[in-house]
Chains A and B, each alone.
Chain A
Amino acid sequence: MNSGRGAYLTPLGRGALAAAFITMLAAGASGNNLLYLLFATLLSAFLLSWAAGKANLRGIVPGLLPPEQVFRGGEFSLKVLLSNPGRLPSLGLRLSCRGQRPPLERLPAGGTAEAELRYLLPHRGLNSVEDLRLESDFPFGLLRHVRRLEARELTALPRTPELRSASELGGGVEVLVSSAQRRGRSGDIWGVREMRADEDIRSVNWKLSAKTGRLMTVEYAEAAGSRVTVRLEGRAAGPDGERRAEEAAGACRFFIDAGAEVRLVTPEGELDYGRGLLHLDRLLRALALSGDGAAARPSAHADPAPEAEPQDETLWRRLTLAGCWLGYACLFLVEEFRTVPAFLLAAPLAAAVFLRERGLAPQPKRLWDAATLAVLLNAVFLHWRLAGIMVANTWLVAYMLVYFAFNPADRAGRRRALSVFYLGFFLVSGQTISFWYFPAYIAFMAFFTAWLAAEWGAGLRPGRGWPRPLGALLAAAVFLAALAFAAIPRVEPLGQRNPIVASLGLNKLSAAAGPVTGFTQNVSLGFFGELRRSGARVMRVRLLPAPVIPPPALYVRGMAFDGFDGRRWSKAGSRLRYRLGGRLYWSKDGSAPLRRSGDKLFFPGVRAAAPGPAAEYTIYPMNLAVIFSAYPALSVEQAGGAAFFDYTDSAYFAAPYLGGIRYIVRGRPGPPGEGALALAEEAGDLLRLYLSVPEGEDPRIAGLARKIVRDQAGGLAKARAVEKYLRSTYTYSLFSKGQGGGLADFLFGSRQGNCEYFASAAALLLRHSGIPTRLVTGFLAGEFNEYGGFYDVRQNQAHAWLEAYIAGSGWVRLDPTPASDSAPAWGRRFMGRAARWLEAGNVRWYRHVIGYDTYAQRNTFHRLGLAVSRWNIARTLAWLAAACVAAFLLRAGFLAWPRRRARQAARDIFSQAQAALENAGLRREPCWTPREYAARVAEKRPDLSGIKLLAEEHYLERYAGRPRTGEDLAAARETLKELRAKTGTRLWKR
């Protein structure tokens, strides 16, 4: 991190890398796409940090502006001038030198900025300054880009020890004083000064002395004085040489101060008599470069402790509070967190904002420590076991947010706060699939960007708006993240095999055990609305053999119910007596085991595997035992354990498949037929079950039933009439308003509801018309994956329909629910377009983000490949050629545009030439104009005098305002090329 150039991880970057690694593991283990998204975001942040950071430092030209005189070992202020010839501003730059980090904040395009350092030269004479570095944590503070500034040589004058008289000089310095005649007082007046003790009393100006009360003298330009020769004996090398050089310097200063003319003789040469401070400067410079001082020595110096960086308290307080509120709000995406105590947490957060904005004293630290300990203990020993690790951790994060809202943090504390914000968001990502995650994600990214930018000092100030490049960077990061999200290879989640991941709840994608799956032993009205909000994948149905063309939607049948009490469907729990192969079976709860043969389970009446439509079902872990099937089942293959069927023609495994399951069901085509009724001993009794209506039912329902079927003859016609009536006169609504109300409310009040309202209504209306019906729950799988050849079945495809028993043709499937894509009435009425947009967004969110898995990914790439391959090669080439021509024309237009590109061209060429020459050691002092620089270069290196032409072109373009023609520029580029070719080696220093 200390030396050289390149990019290094900052502590923040290391933290982010660790977070990315953990996120990647969690994503891989759970297959949770939101974790993948988070990981992709971190990845893109690193990529962007690297690229943008590199671009940020590129092309910056440094220059040193030392003071006129620098003494050895004396601290001075070294100005560093940075100019940015590029077209983009550079941000967040810092000079780094000996623990000092003066910030530059912003270096506009084509502009300059200046920073000041405290510096010290340890050696007399030439010191090469090598420890200056340019750093930047731009853009996110994850990577620190470092560029070492090229070595520069500075001359340190020898220190001048104070002498009282020439007799104090030690050996090695000889002083020869030759007295000269005074030249009178007619010279140019220098000024007035106080007398020195050693001066001739005759030089007192008595008039001035009388005025001021002090002895004053008038100095003249031709001040009288003696002539002194200072001779440095021997070469100024080694410690003794240093001492002698300093003594000689002291002597020079002493005599110059005394107004004498001083001559210096060193082994290297001599400097003639002179007077005044300018001459002293010459003397000291000669002494500095004598002996050891002539060779440059590195000015390496022990780094003092880095200075503590000042903090912008207000900024960090606001950022922290904003983060706490944002984190808190996001926690509500976790369903389990949406409780009353969680809402109550808003009060302490608001109190924290109130207290800290008013600068009230923080609470005692011990109190907070105790609270933290208590919360931690509670979480580890109680909450984890009671509520599960994930939920408990969410609560823990909530507590930490409150903690950080109250407690001001130092630099380390801020890091902790940031990691808690990330942890919170990580937990939320693992536990939600809501569409609202997306805005939360954007908000969090903006927040993290602001926070990280503030860490490197982007000049964020409360109430001063958002620095412009940050917005673009954020957009770029999100875009990159989207690409990375699509491209990161998905592995099949390990969750099915990994109980730890499952128990951590990271695998929200697969429906968790619990009521959310909805396939319990009964179905309440309005329940499906709740159920269908989840996009979790429930199962995958692969048709065997795979269909060639995408098949239509598939009804995957789960359970059926016969009993309805007005609010709830359940199995009436009838006994079943059935006859099979001449033997009578009797089942108390209405179910009977399937016959097993090998790894196959046969339904009653089936002897051996029959050819027929088959499908493979891969079901994710659920607390459920139902055997789903898309066709009337004949046999179940590749499933262990026992299975049962019951009188509603549903089948169950003996135990719920908590770890997920895969099986194949072979069935027969067509409607369910007679089913269990065909076997039943008392079919009549069973059919009566399917005709029961709830007691105390609204009489209007029976009336409605009569009205609908009045003109219909025959069971099937009646059934279709009811189906059609419901489909055409009622509207579908996911968020059923009749959730509290019963069926009557749906039929005569709100007239909109979920699928189970429609199914229940149809079932009841048909029962009133004397047709036996039962409610069936399952999935309406419409999402066929062409590449994988299967249906993806998600929880939001949960569906309810009904089967009606029509004498002669058996059970017939009826689905009175109108297609859900027709806009709901309330949507049309109240929110119209917005609601539909939201709905569309929701669907896309589930399909493209939540449900993006290895198959979807392959599908995407497959389609991409198909699109490319379908594209005729000739056409592709034609398009490419057209694109090239367009690009060329654009570029030509851009070049021809007199104001934009061309205006800068010659200047750019000059800058590039200058950079090339500077690399070869021909440095341009900041105060030199381009023409002066060119002249000096030509003087030093006549072969490089082409730079003069470039300087003139630059002048004509910039100062005369004459855009250069293509010819001029071509000539200039040629010259630039030539200069570049000639400046291979370094020949000239300074």
Chain B
Amino acid sequence: MSRVARLGAFIVATLAVLAAGVFIIGSKEYLFSSTYRLRAQFENVAGLANGADVQVGGVHSGTVTGIELPKKPGNKVTVIMELARSTHAIIKQDSVASIETEGMLGNQYVAISFGSAGQADVRDGEIIQSVPPLELGELLAKTNAILDSSQQAVLNTTLATAHLNSISAKIDSGQGTVGALVNDKQLYDNLEQTTTTLHDTMQQAQIGVTDFQENMEALKHNFFLSGYFKKRGYEDSSDLAANRVAELPQALPEKTFTYAARQLFDGRDSARMKDQKTLNEAGDFLAQTQFGVAVVVVSTGMDGDSQKDLVLTEARAMVIREYLVENFGFDDSQLKTLGMGKQAGANLEADWGSIQILIYPAGTEVPAGKPAPAVTSSTTGADRPVQVTAVATQKP
């Protein structure tokens, strides 16, 4: 090999090494691929060095090309990064730069998060958002605080356990009520005996009440008292509620029979009927017609005590219903009562109140039963003379 050839070979070989080196380093510095520049500002870069990695999604995608101290106090340190063009599609306006450490003591690098799909692209040289780096010292301070509070928690737990210990020791040794309950058999026996006695007493009381009811029933039929019940027109107040409804059905009545109370009853305050035959027309109609539901509606004029009048109207309705059910053949569950109490306007005082028997066609829904007697008001309309807009008030 000639001298010149040998020299040429040497030069080519060593320059090849140089070229390889340049390309290896160049690929790290992104000198030979298209790049763009981004900036981020930090209070503190925690020892980040020029030439440090920039990672996007954990992939090496760029280099830190400059770190500039602020020109005046109060500004932030600017980190300039050169990023591969390929990351431009994923870094958006809302991407965040952070300074991270490889492992506990490794190199610092900048990590940039992916942007959201809807956000605008970043421009060359733009400043993106950043989060301050987590420094080891800061981390240790936080850990210290956590350790302090957990120590306190452990102390509290220890204290609570000691208290529990003391309580269970006291229970065990029979101190206090719970201790006595747990430890004293006699107390338990006494308690059981008491309960048994109480049970017996209750049974006897029930028998006593039944006897009293029978006595009362007998008393009602006694010669001296029967006059009162006769004059009142009915014997048992509890029967008043048996067929009572809360309101009239929504449908229009098929037929309406109207009577004045004076025609039917003994006196202004009485529910004792004097001329039952007046009702026969209505009774015949009920017996011959397939009706859905019929309601006996009774009301009084405006004078007198409201509460008493309410009871009176309910009693009158019940008495009329009883008469109709006993003397005419139809399904008695379809005949209901409704005592309206005092109703302004429609009733003449001279009539002692009015009675209506409203008969609704087949298929009419039977209204719900009325749970407690109510005072209602207002009357309107010609074909529905008594309209109820159920305003319930509690009985005192």
On whether the two chains bind one another, the answer is no
**A residues lining the B interface (CB < 8 Å):** none
**B residues lining the A interface (CB < 8 Å):** none
